[in-house]
Structure 1
């Protein structure tokens, strides 16, 4: 029984440590002003709300945005993921904003150099 408990604690601590490492990697990516500029211009796109598909379980949150022509991510409460796209409902525009993953953004930036 003690061994199982120790294994569970170890797994939890490893998972927590790995999660913090990924968060740090995402945060470090945004320390570079060039990365911030690229993300503000190219790190997202908008899609219509699916009529036939259930999308609610994929949403990371709900926002209201006045102007979609330029978004500064320092001014809105969203979080990027290292490996996964994130979906936010823009309630006042009845659309969904899709945030690209940091890995996808890095690949795009490498292709544009």
Structure 2
């Protein structure tokens, strides 16, 4: 199963991303922060500090990242099994056009006879 997650911040990576990765889902992050995108694509992993009785650092591996406002994200929306988001209202406004285009492409692909 493949997922696309909008928002590679603390909640996106530390909670949603880790949850999806722990479930064995192949994960691509979409974000507007090019520094974060470059770091994720260079390492294809990141660390999460899991707090509780025994604090531990876990590595989430096998991740990729794309710009949330480019054409690549439109293609991903049309092809992944799951799309999730953890962005604020300002960023949501910026990514909405790409999400709409991706969903339209997905719908168009579904209506093509195979």
Using the size of structure 1 for normalisation, the TM-score is 0.21
Higher strand share: 2
User: Could you say which structure has the larger radius of gyration?
Assistant: 1
TM-score after normalising by structure 2: 0.21
